[in-house]
Chains A and B, each alone.
Chain A
Amino acid sequence: DTAVSQTPKYLVTQMGNDKSIKCEQNLGHDTMYWYKQDSKKFLKIMFSYNNKELIINETVPNRFSPKSPDKAHLNLHINSLELGDSAVYFCASSHRGTSKNTGELFFGEGSRLTVL
């Protein structure tokens, strides 16, 4: 069984369109994240939710809107797509801070978005 699953894996769309990526985890974790990995392979956090509550919102255009209907799901909706949004978007989950050394994020396989 896939621990963190995200769909779709590939998304090709035109500039200006709106698209969504869905993420689900079956690990019982209380925290979920969206990371963006650009063409230079830099992996940068976008959002983090803990028990459906937004706890991290990095400097991300407000065209990006996360939604967490429950602690097992974190979806990402993107409005008015731009060329620069092309990247791989990774969903991840973890237990929040049971130990200061806890660092294991479990990532989904990524959603490769190409904006034409």
Chain B
Amino acid sequence: RKEVEQDPGPFNVPEGATVAFNCTYSNSASQSFFWYRQDCRKEPKLLMSVYSSGNEDGRFTAQLNRASQYISLLIRDSKLSDSATYLCVVRGFQKLVFGTGTRLLVSP
């Protein structure tokens, strides 16, 4: 089983839609969780951290369920510029482990 698993997508949504991505992780001792964004042929960049109580940053909401070892990212009012691959990231021992990413395509 992979350490971090995500649905690869792609998720095709129209502008203005709400879309949610899920991620599961295998190491129950993991302490820190993040979402990164990677545009086509670019480097990954931190989108947001994921806190136990859930957190929001503008149109983006991240949730953590430790019991189910599950992380989610909700994007409201999708913009064309949200089209990218979203990487779920979990802190393992001394390193960050990346999921394979979920591709989002927002169309006009």
Q: Please, how many residues of chain B have a CB less than 8 angstroms from a CB on the other chain?
A: 22
Query: CB-CB contacts of A51-95 with B at 8 A, as 1s and 0s?
Result: 000011000000000000000000000000000000000100000
**C-alpha spacing A100/B96, complex, angstroms:** 12
Stretch at the interface among B19-27, B72-80, B84-92: B84-92
Is the C-beta of B61 less than 8 angstroms from some C-beta in chain A?
no
Q: Check A105–B94 contact: CB distance below 8 A.
A: no
Is the C-beta of B65 less than 8 angstroms from some C-beta in chain A?
no
Q: Please, how many residues of chain A have a CB less than 8 angstroms from a CB on the other chain?
A: 22
Known contacts A40-B100, A101-B32: A45-B95 contact under CB 8 Å: yes
Residues of B within 8 A of A35 (CB): 98
Q: Check B31–A100 contact: CB distance below 8 A.
A: yes
**C-alpha spacing A104/B97, complex, angstroms:** 12
Chain A: minimal CB distance from B105 (Å): 15
**C-alpha spacing A44/B94, complex, angstroms:** 14
**C-alpha spacing A48/B100, complex, angstroms:** 20
Residues of chain B touching chain A, judged by Cβ–Cβ distance below 8 Å, are 31-34, 42-46, 49, 51, 85, 87, 89, 91, 94-98, 100-101
Residues of chain A touching chain B, judged by Cβ–Cβ distance below 8 Å, are 33, 35, 40-45, 48, 55-56, 90, 100-105, 107-110
